[in-house]
Structure 1
Amino acid sequence: MNHTTEPKTRKQTILHFTRHAVEMLLAMVAGMIVLEPVWSFLWPGLAGNVTASALVMATNMSLGMALWMRIRRHRWASIAEMSAAMYVPYLLFMPFYWTGLVSGSTMMTAGHVLMVPAMLAAMVRRRAEYGA
């Protein structure tokens, strides 16, 4: 039988979705690793500015992920949603950091931890795209 005409089983769909999520995480890490030295060179005092560091980190991850998503031929709307998933967790915690209710390290940790469910939520929202 031709595999392109066979419907995917639930297990195949879940495996494809999971593989794609792992690829996205790896692309995020690659974006951080590749772009961090550029930012450190261009903005030597960046590490001392927690708000800017968080936004730069979200940008680095978004750029890595966006590149991978374009390679995988995702639509711009999906890329925008996935990029938003990188920023929203930080943006939610920044007011708490600015008012002193949480530390900078707590904000950074919360942003990183909440990115994964935000990313998975964006993927579930378009599960046909990510599970296909």
Structure 2
Amino acid sequence: MRVLHTPRSPQKAPARDGPISRTAKSTSRFGFHFLEMCAVMCLGGGVLIAVFFGVAALLGFTDLTQEAPALSALICSVILAGAMVAWMRFRRMEWRPTLEMAGSSVAAGVLLIAGYWIGIVSQQALVPSVCGLACVAMVAVMLFRLPLYSSGHAGHHGGTT
């Protein structure tokens, strides 16, 4: 006897490949990228900032954050941006997203300095707030390029443009 049609049950994708799982995977990758870059920027940049202020103290500027708070905040934001650029280029990210991410820490520093000048940010809070606001600004940049930051690191390797 010849069977013309074999009834089959519909093929289902495994649960781990469903839309909820893909969303969870993308969200966890985004979160990992964020934590990784915050750690690099705030921990790595923090070490470089400590070295900078230590060298400044050796040169006679014992309390630069009190003597020149706006300049100190700007220097901190540039150091954080430098740490971010170094890490992202080490991870072989392209230049455009690297500069956007670095720009977020500089923009955070400029915003805090403006807040200090108009009296919203206190002198004591100015420098310590740079890293925190830079991380918040970094999320905005990451959301702008959500597909990039919610993918694995293999998707970051591009040319040197």
TM (norm. structure 1) is 0.80
Q: Bigger radius of gyration, 1 or 2?
A: 2
Q: How does 1:73-92 map to 2 (within 5 A)?
A: 73-92=92-111
Q: Which residue of 1 aligns with 2:38?
A: 25
Aligned residues: 126
CA distance change for structure 1 residues 128 and 96 in 2, over 3 Å: closer, same or farther?
closer
Task: Please tell me the root mean square deviation across aligned C-alpha atoms, in Å.
Answer: 2.3
| Deviation string, structure 1 residues 4-56 (Cα, Å, up to 9, x no partner) | xxx98111111111001000011012333331243124422233321121112
- More helix per residue: 1 or 2? 1
CA distance change for structure 1 residues 131 and 92 in 2, over 3 Å: closer, same or farther?
same
Where does structure 1 differ by over 4 angstroms across 4 or more consecutive aligned residues?
none
For 2:122, the aligned partner's letter is S
Gaps of 5+ in 2: 1-18, 152-161
Q: How does 1:1-132 map to 2 (within 5 A)?
A: 9-44=22-57, 45=61, 46-48=64-66, 49-108=68-127, 110-132=129-151
In 2, Cα distance between equivalents of 1:24 and 1:58: 14
Determine what percentage of the aligned residue pairs are the same residue. 29
